[in-house]
Amino acid sequence: MGRSAAVPVPVPLLVLLSAAAAWDLRALRCSLTADCECGFAPDLRGLECELAVTLVGQPLVRQQLMKGLRRFLEERSPEKPLVMSFHGSTGTGKTFVSAVLARHLFPEGLHSPHVHHFSPVVHFPHAEHAERYKANLKQWIQGNLTNCGRSVFLFEEMDKMHPGLIDVIMPFLGPSWVVYGTNYRKAIFIFISNAGGEQINEMTLDLWRAHRDREEISLQDMESAISKAVFENPQSGFWKSGIINEHLIDFIVPFLPLKHHHVKQCVINELVQQGLEVRQGVVQEVADSIPYFPEEEKLFSSTGCKTVASRISYFF
């Protein structure tokens, strides 16, 4: 029996097949090479230098952040995205550090189309719409990862996330999720939360009373307190979350409360940034105007450095 004649393939179908093949090749390149880095240009030396100069009183933060980034970026094909969770009370530098980090990963910093902000208060304010929010959140993350596998996601106010909603993020954080056409494992997720801040403050105060210098505090000193306050709290967005059960958070980053001399340094930094003369009298007055705790010792700033910029105009 003779060979059958080849069936001609319609031109439109050929176009579609060619496009699909091109997309497959692009997906392969993105998975195996750096062709799809989206302008990602990490400057770890610059990041470390800027944090050393501008981040006041947070040695553990610098240590954990640089350790996590170096380990992650050394891998050409990481097994999973980098996931960090920032914890501490208001004004201790969580949002500031995330902005500095973005600036040293992408030239446009927070304005980069590949750095994405999320706030449950702004984006998902109503608990009764949780199911719809879950679908929106999944679509939002997957869409951004499809556009750029090197995406950076900043999730602020995680302590206000509706319980259960956070589990929508979970599949994107592990090694098994597939986003077609990109290597999503190169993404970075940063969770920012005030949860655990009170416990971190109490632990720091207890260690101070035990004559432990603040700069001697280790991550091990803080881990149990943060875990209990954040991951075992029914009011927390992390409550019974698969992210915790599956150990998908790579680095917990505690932000310690700031002492009086730290606040003074924040005042100096702010004066320099505003192009104003650094007057020691102004520095002292601004720092003294901020409330401190506990009531008797007045050791740590109740608002960190959060209100420093707004107070300077009253004394300059």
Would you mind telling me the total number of residues written for the chain in this entry? 316
Q: Cα separation of 73 and 53, whole Å?
A: 23
95 is in an annotated binding site: yes
The CA-based dihedral angle spanning residues 261, 264, 266, 269, taken in that order and rounded to the nearest 10 degrees: -120
89 is in an annotated binding site: yes
242 is in an annotated binding site: no
Q: For strands 300-301 and 292-293, give the pairing.
A: antiparallel
Q: Cα separation of 150 and 285, whole Å?
A: 45
88 is in an annotated binding site: yes
91 is in an annotated binding site: yes
46 is in an annotated binding site: no
146 is in an annotated binding site: no
Residues at the annotated binding site for ATP?
88-95
Enumerate the known binding-site residues.
88-95
